């Protein structure tokens, strides 16, 4: 009896050997000596195998960092940094497959289809962090915008994975720098900043101007 794991391993082995996905489910199941029914019991298509791999890696990274002792001491910013460092470490173990899986996706401006499974997991994780940050005051609660913070982090997710794929530095050190820098910048934007004060000042002025208009019209 085939398991989900066997099919996954068989699939990864196939695409890495042939640098393309199997021509059909039929030829694939024949190759790994299972029945078509067994395949469809676990997966609807080859794409769903890839999606699942991404989703599992993402969940695994989150799980790993939450078990670290320092987790409790970390701020939201640190937690997000920690996620990306662990994630990249995990991806490293599957680099050939990851590169294969993403390089099919050439449109830089949309989210690759294979990440569709990882996205909700990451966003759920990010939303949790953001809410904690908003509560503790680490992040600024801005009308409308606070709800979009997680989107900004997803953009970083896609960017960093892509950066890592093209990183040829020793031990992917440049990716570490990209994480440190990118996540810090993103969280800086989430924090209370001069822009918030500027907006408030503008609001104050607009009220004040109205007031003086009214008072001058009385004369």
Partner 1 sequence: MNEQNSIPVTKTERSAKFVKTGFQIGGNYIKHYSKKLFNPQLGRDELNEDNATDIYKSLSELKGSALKIAQMLSMDKNILPKSYIEKFTQSQYNAPPLSGPLIVRTFTRNFGKTPEAIYDKFNLVSSNAASIGQVHEAELNGQKLAVKIQYPGVGDSISSDLKLVKPFAFRLLGMSEKELNIYIKEVEERLLEETDYELEVRRSIEITEACKDLKNVVFPTYYPALSGKRIITMDWINGMHLKEFLQTNPSQELRNKIGQALWDFYNFQQHELRAVHADPHPGNFMITPDEKLGVIDFGCIKEMPDDFYVPFFSLISSDVIKDKKRTIEAFRKLEMIHQHDDEAQIEFYYQSYLEMIRLFAKPYTSKTFDFSQPEFFTQLYAYGEKIAKMPEFKQARGVKHFIYVNRTNFGLYTILQELKAVVKTDTFNPHLT
For residues 26 and 159, which CB has a smaller minimum distance to partner 1 in the complex?
159
Least Å from the CB of residue 9 to partner 1: 24
Site string for partner 1, 181-200 (x = CB under 8 A): x--xx--x--x---------
Interface residue with partner 1, options 8, 94, 105, 174 (CB under 8 A): 174
Contact flag: residue 124 with partner 1 (CB under 8 A): no
Residue of 84, 106, 58 whose CA lies nearest to 186 = 84
Contact flag: residue 177 with partner 1 (CB under 8 A): yes
Residues 175 and 180: their CA atoms lie apart, in Å, by 9
Task: Check: CB of residue 141 under 8 Å from CB of residue 190.
Answer: no
Q: Which stretch binds partner 1 (CB under 8 A): 37-45, 129-137, 163-171, 193-201?
A: 163-171
* Whole-Å CA distances, 128 to 36, 57, 179, 185: 40, 19, 20, 19
Contacts of 18 (CB under 8 A, 6+ apart): none
Task: Check: CB of residue 53 under 8 Å from CB of residue 117.
Answer: no
Residue of 39, 167, 152 whose CA lies nearest to 98 = 167
Least Å from the CB of residue 168 to partner 1: 11
Interface residue with partner 1, options 23, 106, 171, 219 (CB under 8 A): 171
Contact flag: residue 81 with partner 1 (CB under 8 A): yes
Site for partner 1, rule CB under 8 A: 68-70, 73-74, 77-79, 81-82, 85-86, 89, 169-171, 173-174, 176-181, 184-185, 188, 191
């Amino acid at each position: 009896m085939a398991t989900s794991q066997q099919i996954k391993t068989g699939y990864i082995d196939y695409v890495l050997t042939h640098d393309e996905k199997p021509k059909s489910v039929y030829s694939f199941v024949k190759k790994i000596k299972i029945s078509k029914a067994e395949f469809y019991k676990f997966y609807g298509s080859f794409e769903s195998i890839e999606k699942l791999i991404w989703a599992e890696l993402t969940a695994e990274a989150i799980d790993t960092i939450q078990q670290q002792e320092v987790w409790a001491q970390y701020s939201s910013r640190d937690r997000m940094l920690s996620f990306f460092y662990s994630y990249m470490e995990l991806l490293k173990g599957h680099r050939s497959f990851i590169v294969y899986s993403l390089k099919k996706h050439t449109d830089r401006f949309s989210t690759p289809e294979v990440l569709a499974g990882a996205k909700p997991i990451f966003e759920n994780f990010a939303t949790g962090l953001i809410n904690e940050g908003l509560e503790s005051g680490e992040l600024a609660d801005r009308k409308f915008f606070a709800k979009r913070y997680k989107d900004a982090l997803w953009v970083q997710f896609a960017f960093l994975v892509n950066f890592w794929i093209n990183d040829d530095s020793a031990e992917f050190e440049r990716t570490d720098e990209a994480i440190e820098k990118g996540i810090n910048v993103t969280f800086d934007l989430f924090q209370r900043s001069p822009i918030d004060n500027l907006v408030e000042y503008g609001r104050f002025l607009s009220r004040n101007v109205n007031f003086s208009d009214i008072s001058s019209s009385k004369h």
